[in-house]
Structure 1
């Protein structure tokens, strides 16, 4: 069995889970932040967390359980005791001997880290007490946060822009930091300088997962219910309103739905249910909710994910094995373009190659692919290939493309009739072309 590594969090606050073997296969030397590291240094990397507004800071552990950092060191987020950038890895001695369980980056910026033993360390910007050490002084080195957490084992951490959450092994949530919109869940809007347990509706609940948006907080409990609090100007709390919520409130619109995990963007929220369904709500000016429009949503809205095209294609073959075509019948560019379409929903190839792909699309009744092929053919038509493309359109019953190619031939009739393609034109197609051209007046004096 592969050794499972801890969760590391990037700037978005989304977890990335990796295994030891997968990191061995990954060439981290291709990551810009590691470009100046030696091959020997790269071989020792066991875990890595890249963070910062431009992905220009990194904390990583080695196979020897040493912790190193490098990067721009914005607001002291490298934890080295200064704000000097470094292009060479420097050991983070203040965490010597610690094994990292999870880490979260707040865009303030600040860092919250939990060790495998459940201890919490914070450092970085602290103007709003987001480090939880009882002060507003910047933290240039990791500070152990023990107030109200001394007998707790923290298993998950999350950062908003200027506030922080941690989840303990017994299902309790503690919060601290900026609280102008109620994001620490205390019932007021006063900043919280030290960790305090979030109670209210969570008092007798066992929390399984936490997340932070810019100025809001979320928790999933063991019954699958979702509780939210904090800023709600874009409907990111999913309560059907835009009013802020100073204490945890259950998302009633998810009644009867068991949620497994919650994740937050800057001002929007996603949840995953135990049936694999995704719901989204909040800000949507960039289409981040995946609802097909750019309107904000204040209620959970199901994200309808198109069935994987590869799976659909595979299923169609299993349903009708007689329709299987040997790919060797097609050129490599056509085969490559077909795979590209299956995985990316787009194609990139020449008009002549698009004819071969049109053949494949017609055979498998992939109508959307047929349309993409026709668009490619239209964009690349010229006098020399016009007859060949017209022939293909007729052969594959692509009426719109046939009309387009025919009009092109009529508009360039003198040159087209002098091409080799016209000279080698199929007899029946030639008769039909001349008849149709005559009807539209192409041969009038």
Structure 2
């Protein structure tokens, strides 16, 4: 994921930003955690209820280190709407901090500004966490589910008569089932068993429990209506649920006031699970977050679809996006712009093929061809040249005797020009001094590189100034002279028409520079006339 898509990171120091390897944006998009390549954890943003874990109540745009989490290998964050935060480490430990009015921290009601281990789970290895508005679920490696926090709708379980300020295993109904996945809407809880069944409990509003009635259910029950579908994952929005089957189908239910179910309308009549996104290919992953009303899906071929609330608009059927990651949907269209999970961050260097090619250019350790120009060596790769240049493609077919030479000697062009050409083949970037661009233009004509030729013409036009106009003029004369030995018919084809315009502009700047110099010496515009008369 590209960090620049999230506005909260826009003021970060570029050097610091380059060291970030994962990030989590929460709290209405106004707060975030980042983990660096050295496993240091930093918090930044509004810091509501001390949710940044930096032992302070002050907001900060400058990342502050979360000492208690540094070096702990945090693999997941989850947060509630009350600014309570849960962190899960690779060892299976849970840290909690922030808002605790409803027992969200599960630590006997103790408020804390910094992350602290959840007491009582020392011998339990947690593998997954999920937060609703003010309650939390945790899943251990043995498939047992634990819950704590607000219980006003039975989202923890029915045996409680109040909120739970201490974690407890949810033993009713699903206690004998092995669970493989958990999720929360704002005020309901969901679990997927190892045999692919979905269990739900909590608030029934808008049909988010998958039942067409108005009664809250505080005891986990198996949602009917899946027929023979085997569910592998559930993802929850604020009050709607997506379920992904092992056959790549999506089943959805709950609130549909923004079209987040994806049935082609904003009707809430589909309170029970219904097959949705039927027009798209096999789905391999789904995403949603309790902070908004967006649904997202990733297909087998890498296509990303979205539906639901789109910056004030409603998308009622799955719409194909240009994105490659589902997280980009939440960055671009969710309101607030939050992350559905802790996401890996790739810098431009790690994402870009061009960056890798740039690094490989002129590298003697990996090259398989050396080119010599003006006695200087340039290290390149035959495969790249064959792919990027028709000239080299023909050469390396074996038809030319030059293809077997190493180093391959070039005497038609200067070293700066030829190196710039090869660098362009690797990166698509022209890196050359303005007065040498005409030489590169000559090369592009010689090798029939139309794309390079157009770029050279654009650069020449944009770089003409009174200071370099004379140099460009001399270079253009040199460029023209080199083609005087070619037949006139060929010259007309080789010299681009744009060059004539460029020369005219060069002459204009030379003349203008002389006029300005004359004005500076004489001190008035009338001197032009007197100079003409003289």
The answer to whether the superposition gives a TM-score over 0.5 is yes
- 2:77 matched residue in structure 1: 103
Give the Å deviation of 1:30. Answer: 5.1
Cα distance between partner residues in 2 of 1:239 and 1:101: 34
More displaced 10-residue stretch of structure 1: 215-224 or 232-241? 232-241
- Is 1:156–2:131 an aligned residue pair? no
Deviations 1:118-168 (A, max 9, x none): 000111111000110011x54311121032x22111111000111110010
Cα distance between partner residues in 1 of 2:320 and 2:242: 26
Cα distance between partner residues in 2 of 1:64 and 1:230: 41
Cα distance between partner residues in 2 of 1:239 and 1:189: 23
What is the correspondence of 1:72-91 to structure 2 with a 5 Å cutoff? 72-91=46-65
- 1:50 matched residue in structure 2: 25
- 1:204 matched residue in structure 2: 176
Cα distance between partner residues in 2 of 1:64 and 1:52: 25
- 2:254 matched residue in structure 1: 282
Whether the 8 Å CA contact 1:37–1:88 is kept in 2: the answer is: yes
* CA distance 1:235–1:343, shift in 2 (3 Å): closer
Q: Which protein has the larger Cα radius of gyration, Structure 1 or Structure 2?
A: 2
Aligned pairs, how many? 284
- 1:166 matched residue in structure 2: 138
- Is 1:305–2:278 an aligned residue pair? yes
Give the Å deviation of 1:33. Answer: 1.4
What is the correspondence of 1:326-405 to structure 2 with a 5 Å cutoff? none
- 1:364 matched residue in structure 2: none
Cα distance between partner residues in 2 of 1:257 and 1:306: 18
Whether the 8 Å CA contact 1:101–1:155 is kept in 2: the answer is: no
- 2:97 matched residue in structure 1: 123
Higher relative contact order (CA 8 A, sep 6+): 2
* CA distance 1:92–1:201, shift in 2 (3 Å): same
Give the Å deviation of 1:29. Answer: 4.1
- 1:387 matched residue in structure 2: none
Give the Å deviation of 1:210. Answer: 0.3
Structure 2's unaligned 5+ residue stretches are 282-318, 323-534
SS at match of 1:157: strand
CA RMSD of aligned residues (A): 1.7
Deviations 1:328-379 (A, max 9, x none): xxxxxxxxxxxxx9867xxxxxxxxxxxxxxxxxxxxxxxxxxxxxxxxxxx
Cα distance between partner residues in 2 of 1:288 and 1:74: 29
* CA distance 1:167–1:233, shift in 2 (3 Å): same
Give the Å deviation of 1:305. Answer: 3.5
- 2:113 matched residue in structure 1: 140
Whether the 8 Å CA contact 1:225–1:255 is kept in 2: the answer is: no
Whether the 8 Å CA contact 1:239–1:253 is kept in 2: the answer is: no
- 1:14 matched residue in structure 2: none
- Is 1:40–2:12 an aligned residue pair? no
Cα distance between partner residues in 1 of 2:56 and 2:86: 18
- Is 1:295–2:274 an aligned residue pair? no
Deviations 1:250-309 (A, max 9, x none): 01212421001011111111101011111111111111111112222321011033236x
Structure 1's unaligned 5+ residue stretches are 1-22, 309-340, 345-445
Give the Å deviation of 1:31. Answer: 2.9
Whether the 8 Å CA contact 1:186–1:198 is kept in 2: the answer is: no
- 1:429 matched residue in structure 2: none
Give the Å deviation of 1:188. Answer: 3.6
- 1:187 matched residue in structure 2: 159
SS at match of 2:273: strand
Cα distance between partner residues in 2 of 1:121 and 1:343: 36
Cα distance between partner residues in 1 of 2:280 and 2:54: 48
SS at match of 1:254: coil
Cα distance between partner residues in 1 of 2:195 and 2:274: 20
- 1:68 matched residue in structure 2: 42
* CA distance 1:235–1:31, shift in 2 (3 Å): closer
Cα distance between partner residues in 1 of 2:46 and 2:178: 39
SS at match of 1:194: strand
Deviations 1:208-264 (A, max 9, x none): 000011110000010000000000021101023221111110012124210010111
TM-score in terms of structure 1 length? 0.62
* CA distance 1:128–1:342, shift in 2 (3 Å): closer
Cα distance between partner residues in 2 of 1:343 and 1:188: 44
TM-score in terms of structure 2 length? 0.51
Cα distance between partner residues in 2 of 1:96 and 1:63: 11
